[in-house]
Structure 1
Amino acid sequence: MMPPNSLSISCLAKIILSWRRLRKSGKHAAAAAKIETIEPEPEMELSIPPHFRCPISLDLIKDPVTVSTGITYDRESIEKWTESGNRTCPVTKQQLRNLDQIPNHAIRKMIQSWCVENRALGVERIPTPRIPITRSDVSDLCSKISSSTVRGGHKKCGELVEKSRRWVKESERNRKCLAEGGAGDVLATAFEFFASISSNEYEDLLAIILSTLPSFFPLTEESKSKLSSDQSIRCMSWFLTREDLSSRQNSVLLLKELISSNPRNVNKLLLPIKGIEQSLSNIVKLQFCPKATKASLTLIYHIIWSSGDDKISTWFANAGFVSSLLELIVDSERSVCEKAIAVLDKICGTKDGKEMVLDHALTMPVMVKKLLRVSATVSELSVSVIWKLCKDDDRWCVEAIKLGCFQKLLVVLQVGCGGKTKEKATELLKMMNQYRGKLECFDSSMNYDNLKKPSF
């Protein structure tokens, strides 16, 4: 007889009942063979009723809405359809008289009841969807925030900003509606106003605004104008020094957004900030958020590039910052690695900066390791760093050869690279060639399998 744990409960109950009956009749021995052949009942496969499926996605409808043709769809699916420029009903092919979407509460309740009935089969009840906000809702909210700002009502303003943040979190549709309604401009205006009075006194309100503004990237020119004022920049730089990591993250993201369209704004916005180097380097060292790390590296790169002051490059070479960069280059994903090595390349552009970079024993091994490993950009930047380290000091040239740099540079030229990188790689090969015959070259990490020509 099959073990009980391999049978369904209903099947096992039938076997027990049959066995008892047979035992009473004295025929259990003769029927034993028949019982052994009883198979478990196959589990029923749950099928979603056709009228519960969205005609577009064919999935269970979560937020049913009815369009002007009388057909019900899932809100997310029909919104994607109309946002793509379609003005016809996907089912009837009729022209939509308007884009209004009326919630179908009847079908929603039917779907929820069906989910509850089939809960034992693993079906989860869909939550009752929130009604999306309208342009009128956004206009009313923005008007109230502006009014509270003018009156200096920071408590009421904070409640309204928190409401806008909740709306943003509810759905992408809400976020777009707020952005199109000018919520970002209103929040930027409120931030500038309260920052001009006191960052300390209105810290909570300003922090809430900071956390909401990134939802409206890319910012409008009006928002950038308000956030680029002296009062706003001072407030954001103040938040960069606070213990609250969330405020640090949002501040650095906003500063990056302000210079993204015009890097020349660095001279106006960032260089005058006292202690900006320390604040940004601390974010890189902590690595508490990939977005904040990338934004900080971008700002540091532009600061070094725009300042033209060797002292700034030398400062970033101090205080363990180079160690943090090397750690990011080794362990981070591609975009972070590219930004970190770009900053390292800039630091190596000065004599003092280069000397401090060379004080780290892992600098050359990491640079050689990254050749042909991550991306074309990383390879070009690695060649640039190696060239800067080797061109005035034969010791580093010899170390690079021992690490297998000569062979990798040959491959860099073979697979293709930019003009400047080609010049630097060729010069490095000439410098290394005079030592190559005297050294035993090795490269335990080189792997030419599946090597493909990158697109530059």
Structure 2
Amino acid sequence: MEEEEAGGGAAMAVVERLVKSVAEISAISDFGQAYKKELCNLSRRIKLLAPMFDELIDSKVPIPVDVLRSLASLQAALNSALDLLRFGSEGSKLFMVLERDKNMKRFQDVTVQLEQALGGISLEKLDISDEVREQVELVHAQLQRAKDRVHMPDVELYNDLASIYNKSTDLPSIDPSLLHKLADKLQLMSISDLKQESLALHELVAASDGRDPGENIEKMSMLLKKIKDFVLTNNLEMSTTTDDDAKHLAPVIPDDFRCPISLELMEDPVIVASGQTYERRCIKKWLEGGHDTCPKTQLKLPNMSLTTNYVLRSLISQWCEANGVECPKRPSLPISLTSACSSSEHNNVDSLLLKLSSPNPDEQRSAAGELRLLAKRNSDNRICIAEAGAIPLLAGLLLTVDTCTQEHAVTALLNLSIYEENKARIISSGAVPGIVHVLRNGSMEARENAAATIFSLSVVDENKVTIGATGAIPALVSLLSVGSPRGKKDAATALFNLCIYQGNKGKAVRAGLVPTLMVLLRDPAGGMVDEALAILAILSNHHEGKAAIGAAKAVPMLVDVIRSGSPRNRENAAAVLLHLCGGEQLQHHIEQAQECGVMGPLLELASNGTERGKRKANQLLERMSRFLDRQKQFEAQAEVFIAPGEQSGFLGSTTFSGH
């Protein structure tokens, strides 16, 4: 017994270290531009492992010794990844760019180490849910692909730095515009950034353990000094300008109004697929040069569409008028569309967008209604409308007090979201808080369409986190309770999607989702039994969800479903009961299930159910059998200590009377 407890303690210590490593990795978010995509991908994949460790913490099933060794290997791989991510966040930015071969090799080594460690874990031996197992398998597959792909970092940044770095150690006079460009790309534009980079280079020297750090670090230090001198000189010139001189200077252009490429005031700002805004002519030149990445974020663009940023263009015009600056020449609405809209619809879009941005409420309402209908019609219209820049304007109307306009706007976004690439555009436009506002406060039809929009957007895994953080879940739970049949369906599908992400499950439970689901489960005529059981199944592998389901006295109803429900509902009910019978209330739930006559239905499900249903039924039967065996052993041991004349009295005392 002591050896078993020691083994359990050792297993728990390994899992707790894994949880701690993932938490430390999750806390790192600020990466330099050079390897931002690679670092973000690595961090994101590791964070997807967190639900597996969470379930292992909650599990009462011992971890086999061979799996424990594999988890220890994974811990070593996570330590390597943590070191790499910390260096990508806090290390020398110059070193990350200039020593790209070493750094790319390090990326590959860490990826291979993680992939091999994950591949060595026998997931079927762990007490984790099917959803989590599938998620871990997905991460493993992504790592397998990633280890065979080498992504070159920002080539232009490397070439610009190398052109200076390789000239000579004295670094002769350099074009100031190039220094400005490098400082901006390397994020070395402030005193604190420069100080951090200097410290990072000093740490590289210290890490050499007294050995000569070599010519490379020395040249990087000289290059940093050149950038630092340039930045400080420019700051000094700005700070020593007199008040009289300032009166004759042009007003300082806000950074948000400057194109990140040209650094000039934007005339025709456009949004690319990454959500960044550029001057149209500059980003077009970049894309026509064969680039397929966002210059600022270095992320690969899923498409080359350019969406006019009407809001920013209006702000720039207002700023120009207020500061006596000549307004940029306003271009005609760009409808250089590649889609196959009909000519009449194509020609209508630009005038509809003008009405949409009009201060006249009637024009806004009619334009939003027409766009809603156009977006409903076909995929070509959805592409056409989004490329013309309608999404930010529609998002702005979600907060209007005109309920009809609000309803048109959210429904237009719903229809636009059907086209896959528009989902990212809607998220990057910042529309989600407005959609949640409609979900809470709109008319019933608007609320239902807002729920459907959230469902559509949450199909993308990354969006589940964003949406969950906006307060959407309590609003969806409310609609699930009071909505029409269609509204309840939309709310349920949205909640199911969101709760696939482990971090949203606690929010859903705290919003009162479980009692609402139990009400739906007790009302077969309402047509929501399938949805209720599917959501309960994914909530039951979360400790808060398990506790809430147990508190709702769900066991008798689950047994009824296992006995007579549809094949899919039977497997979901068995999955929920399996999790309940593995928690702190194991004895109570098993005894309650037995009292409800669960054994017969379980045996039948284990023989004739779906594959998943059979698996869940067999796991549940095995768990109940182990429990009953332990109970019998306990009773047998207890009898040894009870005198024959006392046994009947002892057993008689177990008869319960009403409270």
Measured in 1, the distance between the counterparts of 2:505 and 2:395 equals: 33
Q: CA deviation at 1:382?
A: 0.8
1:236 maps to what in 2?
A: 435
Q: CA deviation at 1:167?
A: 7.7
Q: SS in structure 2 opposite 1:228?
A: helix
1:408 maps to what in 2?
A: 601
Q: Kindly tell me the number of residue pairs found equivalent between the two proteins.
A: 288
2:335 maps to what in 1?
A: none
Write the letter of the residue equivalent to 2:523.
Answer: D
Match runs of 1:36-435 below 5 Å: 135-149=342-356, 154-163=361-370, 176=377, 178-182=378-382, 185-186=385-386, 189-196=389-396, 199-200=399-400, 204-215=404-415, 218-221=418-421, 223-260=422-459, 262-267=460-465, 269-273=466-470, 275-286=471-482, 288-308=483-503, 311-312=506-507, 314-316=509-511, 318=512, 321-332=513-524, 336-361=528-553, 363-371=554-562, 373-392=564-583, 393-418=586-611, 420-431=615-626
Write the letter of the residue equivalent to 1:229.
Answer: S
Q: SS in structure 2 opposite 1:231?
A: coil
CA deviations over 1:18-47 (Å, ceiling 9, x no partner): xxxxxxxxxxxxxxxxxxxxxxxxxxxxxx
Question: Are the equivalent residues in 1 in contact too, given 2:417–2:453 (CA < 8 A)?
Answer: no
Q: Which has the higher contact order (CA 8 A, sep 6+)?
A: 2
Q: CA deviation at 1:338?
A: 3.0
Q: CA deviation at 1:425?
A: 3.2
Question: Are the equivalent residues in 1 in contact too, given 2:397–2:409 (CA < 8 A)?
Answer: no
Measured in 2, the distance between the counterparts of 1:417 and 1:213 equals: 38
Write the letter of the residue equivalent to 1:305.
Answer: I
Q: CA deviation at 1:240?
A: 1.4
CA deviations over 1:330-383 (Å, ceiling 9, x no partner): 33579843332232233333444333322223x111111111534332111111
Question: Are the equivalent residues in 2 in contact too, given 1:384–1:424 (CA < 8 A)?
Answer: no
Measured in 2, the distance between the counterparts of 1:210 and 1:343 equals: 26
Q: CA deviation at 1:256?
A: 0.8
Question: Are the equivalent residues in 1 in contact too, given 2:438–2:450 (CA < 8 A)?
Answer: yes
Question: Are the equivalent residues in 1 in contact too, given 2:368–2:394 (CA < 8 A)?
Answer: no
Deviates more, 1:149-158 or 1:247-256: 149-158
Write the letter of the residue equivalent to 2:363.
Answer: K
Write the letter of the residue equivalent to 1:300.
Answer: L
CA deviations over 1:82-116 (Å, ceiling 9, x no partner): xxxxxxxxxxxxxxxxxxxxxxxxxxxxxxxxxxx
Question: Are the equivalent residues in 1 in contact too, given 2:561–2:570 (CA < 8 A)?
Answer: yes
Q: CA deviation at 1:234?
A: 1.4
Measured in 1, the distance between the counterparts of 2:558 and 2:387 equals: 44
Q: CA deviation at 1:303?
A: 3.4
Distance 1:376 1:187, change over 3 A: farther
Measured in 2, the distance between the counterparts of 1:333 and 1:418 equals: 28
The percentage of aligned residue pairs carrying the same residue is 15
Q: Which has the higher helix share?
A: 2
2:59 maps to what in 1?
A: none
Question: Are the equivalent residues in 2 in contact too, given 1:188–1:227 (CA < 8 A)?
Answer: no
Measured in 2, the distance between the counterparts of 1:387 and 1:213 equals: 40
Q: SS in structure 2 opposite 1:241?
A: helix
Distance 1:206 1:183, change over 3 A: farther
Measured in 1, the distance between the counterparts of 2:400 and 2:490 equals: 25
Distance 1:228 1:203, change over 3 A: farther
1:86 maps to what in 2?
A: none
Deviates more, 1:151-160 or 1:390-399: 151-160
1:44 maps to what in 2?
A: none
Distance 1:216 1:272, change over 3 A: closer
Q: CA deviation at 1:208?
A: 1.3
Write the letter of the residue equivalent to 1:259.
Answer: S
Measured in 1, the distance between the counterparts of 2:388 and 2:440 equals: 21
Distance 1:255 1:220, change over 3 A: same
Measured in 2, the distance between the counterparts of 1:303 and 1:208 equals: 25
Write the letter of the residue equivalent to 1:329.
Answer: L
Measured in 2, the distance between the counterparts of 1:295 and 1:198 equals: 19
After TM superposition, the score normalised by the length of structure 2 is 0.39
Distance 1:328 1:387, change over 3 A: same
Question: Are the equivalent residues in 2 in contact too, given 1:328–1:337 (CA < 8 A)?
Answer: yes
Question: Are the equivalent residues in 2 in contact too, given 1:341–1:382 (CA < 8 A)?
Answer: yes
Write the letter of the residue equivalent to 2:457.
Answer: L
Write the letter of the residue equivalent to 2:552.
Answer: H
Measured in 2, the distance between the counterparts of 1:142 and 1:379 equals: 50
Distance 1:243 1:345, change over 3 A: same
Q: CA deviation at 1:233?
A: 0.9
Unpaired segments of 5 or more residues in structure 1? Answer: 1-133, 169-174, 439-456
Write the letter of the residue equivalent to 2:407.
Answer: A
Write the letter of the residue equivalent to 2:599.
Answer: F
Q: CA deviation at 1:259?
A: 1.9
Question: Are the equivalent residues in 2 in contact too, given 1:192–1:229 (CA < 8 A)?
Answer: no
Q: CA deviation at 1:237?
A: 1.0
CA deviations over 1:171-217 (Å, ceiling 9, x no partner): xxxx54x5433477359943522534772356542321223454566
Distance 1:304 1:422, change over 3 A: same
Q: CA deviation at 1:429?
A: 4.8
Measured in 2, the distance between the counterparts of 1:311 and 1:165 equals: 35
Q: SS in structure 2 opposite 1:308?
A: helix
Structure number with greater Rg is: 1
Deviates more, 1:242-251 or 1:343-352: 343-352
Measured in 1, the distance between the counterparts of 2:505 and 2:453 equals: 27
Q: CA deviation at 1:228?
A: 1.3
Write the letter of the residue equivalent to 1:284.
Answer: L
After TM superposition, the score normalised by the length of structure 1 is 0.54
Q: CA deviation at 1:224?
A: 1.9
Measured in 2, the distance between the counterparts of 1:423 and 1:302 equals: 28
Unpaired segments of 5 or more residues in structure 2? Answer: 1-340, 636-659
Q: CA deviation at 1:249?
A: 0.7
Measured in 1, the distance between the counterparts of 2:362 and 2:387 equals: 14
Write the letter of the residue equivalent to 1:193.
Answer: L
Question: Are the equivalent residues in 1 in contact too, given 2:411–2:446 (CA < 8 A)?
Answer: yes
Write the letter of the residue equivalent to 1:348.
Answer: S
Q: CA deviation at 1:272?
A: 2.3
Question: Are the equivalent residues in 2 in contact too, given 1:301–1:343 (CA < 8 A)?
Answer: yes
Measured in 2, the distance between the counterparts of 1:359 and 1:241 equals: 28
Measured in 2, the distance between the counterparts of 1:158 and 1:383 equals: 50
Distance 1:340 1:219, change over 3 A: same
Q: SS in structure 1 opposite 2:468?
A: coil
Supply the RMSD in Å over aligned alpha carbons: 3.5
Measured in 1, the distance between the counterparts of 2:384 and 2:558 equals: 42
Q: CA deviation at 1:401?
A: 1.4
